[in-house]
Chain A
Amino acid sequence: MSISRAWLPLALMTTLIVALGAYAAMRQDAFLTTYNLGNLLLSTMPLALVAIGQTNALLVGGFDVSVAALMTMCVVVASFTLQPDKSWDVLLVGALAVVGVGLATGVFNATLIRVLKLPSIIATLGTLSILEGAALLLRDHPEGFINPNAIEALNAGVSFVPYAFIGVVVLAVLADIWLYRTRTGLALRAVGLDDSSSRRLGMATGRTVFLAFVICSLMAAVAGFYSAAQVQIGSPIIGNYALESIAAAVLGGASLAGGKGSFVGTLLAALFLTEISNVLPLFQQPTEYAQMTIGVLILLALVLYQAPELLARLRTSWGGVGRLRTRQGEAAG
């Protein structure tokens, strides 16, 4: 992959973020207020974290659609374990319990995929249903307030920039350095590109895929903390982040076939998708435009990022048709 192609998703996402932001700032005073910008960055947190996790699954050529239900489950669990008026020690144990739910889900998904050899989409769809039902069993309606000190800590920041957002930027940069500059990062991409060849070359492909799905779930659990900070109560429905997380990863440069992706690209795409949701209501535009925009952008991104492969496929198909015509002509002659 050429350097220009590797940077294309990052450049495109940055351009779109700046262009949309500039348009919104020029047309609507409310956009550049610290209140709105702070909300934009805080709203980006759940999607950014879960999409970074999803990028891991996509890098090994899989999908994890259970992340949305896992995030909801983590919010519900947090409403039991991070209750108001608890000391920081108790809260720490409660937070570990939430992370534990993520870890357990990740191990469960990875076992289904690697040990039972189920397709990732089917395995995680099953987990999604189980977690959705369990969340509704635990909380059939929003109740159980979450500790306000914990929420304050999660939302803390300097000016309008939450510390957590700075943290996720650092995480994404470090993750990209790991992915493209280390042996284990190379192994992850290699497994995604070609599992069989990687295995033949002696790579621990099973362990790599296993870890990718565990990390994906762990990131969804961390994203769950930020969803909890938003709703501040044990809500059994918090929104569908499954498709959005895949959309963010793809827009950020991840290939659906595996082996390609960028954590920084994913973060930028998550910021852009959240920016769309933030800007549309400011202009009294219906949010269905956001869904349509996301769909169109995914298709455009797939075409744009994979243009050389698509062209090669077209040439091959066209060549095949040409050969067929020649043969038919010869037969008729």
Chain B
Amino acid sequence: MHVRNRSASRRLMTIGAVLVTMLVVVAAGQGAGGFGETYKAKTSTLKKALFNAKLLPANKMARNISLAALGRSEKKVNLNLALKCWKNNGCSTGTGGKLKVAYVEGFGENVFRQMSKMEFILQALTYPQIGKIIYTSAHSNPAQALTDFRAAISQHVNVIVTYPDFGDAMLPVFKEATKAGIPVATYAWGYVTGPGKNYLTVVGEDTCRLGKAYAKVMNKYVKSGNIAFLGGFPGNPLSLGWQKCEKPALNPNIHVVATEATNWDPSKVQEVVSGILARYPDIKGWSYEYGLGMAQGGLAAYKAAGKPFNTVLTLRTDDVGMGCAYDRLKNKNLRVFYYTSGNPQIRVALTAGLMKLKGAKIPPQIVFPIQLQDQSKRDQCVKGYPEQASATSLIPLSLLHKMYP
């Protein structure tokens, strides 16, 4: 009897232990991931992409998607295939996977977009279920951008990632894709009306906060006088986002004397900066997104005008070439503040789309916090990097050198 009781209690203990172990495993599994993803990324990866491992979205699901997406950059992929895919504007991945993913954009002819394209390809290659990667650029033609988007829909792609260069003019095709059951995610705060309803989600930094951060810099270093705003294509959501919030946050003594579109084209930057300089030779600061464009076009305009580049710059991208160009100037009267290029945000957009296919509830906005960097304290001229590149990119250095030999 006594022996029987002991064996029964042992059996109970064993069953209890097994149950506890199962509960722990299940709980750990939920905490570590879901929807085919692991919500984990190395601190070094986060620091590289975001400057600071803590600069992740506040929303829990948005944070998990970001961790899953950035963590995937640590996976090994076929870099030769990635390069081939990048050069050929798309490819079959060779995995036999059934999914087709597309990166469709209105304009793709600058380094930022080309690097985003590579990040998209590298991220897609981490999913064996993706068999085909599609890329199209409409070369700044809005009508072609609509056609390209519709071509992706008619091919029944599974996920579309995009930057809406023409803002709400892309809304009809976003709605058509959503109606066809295709998740559409934008990055670099490609905000179009109705995220979560008209399309899946918008990934990026809060551009209004970016504008306010720019204003803080201008208030501190310009104090009073004239400044100018530059932007990309007329009406693009990124430029509008920070511009509308920087202006009211400026000191009353600071006047925004010009707001010009540059199409993110360095030659147009030179043309625009030259024009503004001719009209306002005493201009003290510039707010813009495209750092390398400013370093090339802006610097050339100042040189042509025979003026020293004594100015305050607030910029969004952290291109290596921009940092190196300013280092070479050795001008202490030039103050440069920058955010991150944010190329890896496109990885988050793709992963969000793929998680949606697995039934995840994706938040309508995946928002990264803002922290501007001071070029005099954190030099973006990172040794060993091609000058065109951004050092916050998660593209392996060896591949970057192949992209920009």
A30 touches B139 (CB 8 A): no
- Chain B 161-191 interface residues, beta-carbon cutoff 8 Å to A: 166-169, 171-172
Q: Which of B62-70, B141-149, B283-291 contacts its partner?
A: B141-149
Which residue of B143, B167, B234, B235 has the most chain A CB atoms within 10 A of its CB atom? B143
Residues of A within 8 A of B138 (CB): 287
Residues of A within 8 A of B233 (CB): 237
B142 touches A231 (CB 8 A): yes
User: Does A198 lie at the interface of the complex (its beta carbon under 8 Å from any beta carbon of B)?
Assistant: no
Residues of B within 8 A of A140 (CB): 234-235
User: Does A111 lie at the interface of the complex (its beta carbon under 8 Å from any beta carbon of B)?
Assistant: no
Residues of B within 8 A of A28 (CB): 155
| 25 examples of A-B residue contacts, CB within 8 angstroms | A28-B155, A30-B154, A35-B153, A36-B154, A43-B143, A46-B143, A141-B167, A143-B168, A230-B172, A231-B169, A231-B172, A235-B168, A235-B169, A238-B142, A239-B142, A239-B143, A278-B147, A278-B151, A281-B148, A281-B152, A282-B151, A286-B137, A287-B138, A287-B148, A291-B139
A39 touches B141 (CB 8 A): no
A232 touches B142 (CB 8 A): no
Residues of B within 8 A of A284 (CB): 89-90, 134-136
B171 touches A238 (CB 8 A): no
Residue of A nearest to B148 (CB): A281
Residue of A nearest to B90 (CB): A284
Residues of B within 8 A of A286 (CB): 89, 136-137
User: Does B156 lie at the interface of the complex (its beta carbon under 8 Å from any beta carbon of A)?
Assistant: yes
A141 touches B139 (CB 8 A): no
Using known A-B contacts A140-B234, A281-B136, determine if residue A235 contacts B154 with beta carbons closer than 8 Å. Answer: no
**Interface residue count for B (Cβ, 8 Å)?**
33
B166 touches A235 (CB 8 A): yes
Residue of B nearest to A35 (CB): B154
User: Does B240 lie at the interface of the complex (its beta carbon under 8 Å from any beta carbon of A)?
Assistant: yes
Shortest beta-carbon distance from B94 to chain A in Å: 16
Using known A-B contacts A235-B235, A287-B136, A287-B137, determine if residue A39 contacts B167 with beta carbons closer than 8 Å. Answer: no
User: Does A129 lie at the interface of the complex (its beta carbon under 8 Å from any beta carbon of B)?
Assistant: no
A33 touches B154 (CB 8 A): yes
A232 touches B154 (CB 8 A): no
Per the bound structure, the CA–CA distance linking A141 and B166 in Å amounts to 8
Residues of A within 8 A of B89 (CB): 284, 286
B151 touches A281 (CB 8 A): yes
Residue of B nearest to A139 (CB): B235
Shortest beta-carbon distance from B76 to chain A in Å: 26
Per the bound structure, the CA–CA distance linking A153 and B329 in Å amounts to 60
User: Does A240 lie at the interface of the complex (its beta carbon under 8 Å from any beta carbon of B)?
Assistant: yes
B154 touches A277 (CB 8 A): no
Per the bound structure, the CA–CA distance linking A140 and B235 in Å amounts to 6
- Known pairs A227-B143, A232-B169; list 19 more (Cβ under 8 Å): A30-B151, A30-B154, A30-B155, A30-B156, A31-B154, A39-B150, A43-B143, A46-B143, A139-B235, A232-B171, A235-B166, A235-B169, A237-B166, A238-B142, A239-B144, A240-B141, A277-B143, A287-B141, A291-B139
A237 touches B142 (CB 8 A): yes
Shortest beta-carbon distance from B381 to chain A in Å: 33
- Chain A 225-265 interface residues, beta-carbon cutoff 8 Å to B: 227, 230-233, 235-240
Taken residue by residue from 281 to 313, chain A's Cβ proximity to chain B (1 for < 8 Å, 0 otherwise) reads as 110101110010000000000000000000000
A141 touches B235 (CB 8 A): yes
Per the bound structure, the CA–CA distance linking A318 and B235 in Å amounts to 56
User: Does A187 lie at the interface of the complex (its beta carbon under 8 Å from any beta carbon of B)?
Assistant: no
Q: Given A30, A136, A291, which contacts B234 in the complex, CB threshold below 8 Å?
A: A136
B154 touches A282 (CB 8 A): yes
Per the bound structure, the CA–CA distance linking A145 and B194 in Å amounts to 13
User: Does A206 lie at the interface of the complex (its beta carbon under 8 Å from any beta carbon of B)?
Assistant: no
Shortest beta-carbon distance from B52 to chain A in Å: 32
Measuring CB to CB, which residues of chain B are less than 8 angstroms from any residue of chain A?
A: 89-90, 134-139, 141-144, 146-148, 150-156, 166-169, 171-172, 233-236, 240
Shortest beta-carbon distance from A268 to chain B in Å: 19
Shortest beta-carbon distance from A26 to chain B in Å: 16
B235 touches A237 (CB 8 A): yes
Residues of A within 8 A of B147 (CB): 39, 43, 277-278, 281
Shortest beta-carbon distance from A179 to chain B in Å: 28
**Interface residue count for A (Cβ, 8 Å)?**
36
User: Does A142 lie at the interface of the complex (its beta carbon under 8 Å from any beta carbon of B)?
Assistant: yes
A142 touches B168 (CB 8 A): yes
Residue of B nearest to A278 (CB): B147
Residues of B within 8 A of A282 (CB): 151, 154-155
B240 touches A141 (CB 8 A): yes
- Chain A 10-47 interface residues, beta-carbon cutoff 8 Å to B: 28, 30-31, 33, 35-36, 39, 43, 46
Residues of A within 8 A of B139 (CB): 287-288, 291
List the 9 closest pairs (A to B, CB-CB), nearest first: A141-B235, A281-B151, A239-B143, A235-B169, A30-B154, A231-B169, A36-B154, A142-B169, A142-B167
Using known A-B contacts A141-B234, A284-B89, determine if residue A239 contacts B172 with beta carbons closer than 8 Å. Answer: no
B142 touches A235 (CB 8 A): yes
B172 touches A232 (CB 8 A): yes
Per the bound structure, the CA–CA distance linking A185 and B233 in Å amounts to 43
Residues of B within 8 A of A281 (CB): 136, 147-148, 151-152
A233 touches B168 (CB 8 A): yes
Residues of A within 8 A of B153 (CB): 35
Residue of A nearest to B259 (CB): A140
Shortest beta-carbon distance from A185 to chain B in Å: 31
Shortest beta-carbon distance from A248 to chain B in Å: 14
Per the bound structure, the CA–CA distance linking A102 and B334 in Å amounts to 50
Residues of B within 8 A of A291 (CB): 139
Residue of A nearest to B237 (CB): A141
Shortest beta-carbon distance from B10 to chain A in Å: 64
Shortest beta-carbon distance from A327 to chain B in Å: 52
Which residue of B135, B153, B154, B171 has the most chain A CB atoms within 10 A of its CB atom? B154
Per the bound structure, the CA–CA distance linking A291 and B139 in Å amounts to 11
Residue of A nearest to B140 (CB): A237
Residues of B within 8 A of A277 (CB): 143-144, 147
Residues of A within 8 A of B168 (CB): 142-143, 145, 233, 235
Per the bound structure, the CA–CA distance linking A278 and B152 in Å amounts to 11
Per the bound structure, the CA–CA distance linking A142 and B168 in Å amounts to 6
Q: Given A36, A145, A230, A288, which contacts B143 in the complex, CB threshold below 8 Å?
A: A230
Per the bound structure, the CA–CA distance linking A145 and B233 in Å amounts to 20
Q: Given A227, A236, A239, A278, which contacts B235 in the complex, CB threshold below 8 Å?
A: A236
Shortest beta-carbon distance from B100 to chain A in Å: 11
Taken residue by residue from 155 to 173, chain A's Cβ proximity to chain B (1 for < 8 Å, 0 otherwise) reads as 0000000000000000000
Shortest beta-carbon distance from B283 to chain A in Å: 21
Residues of A within 8 A of B146 (CB): 43, 230-231
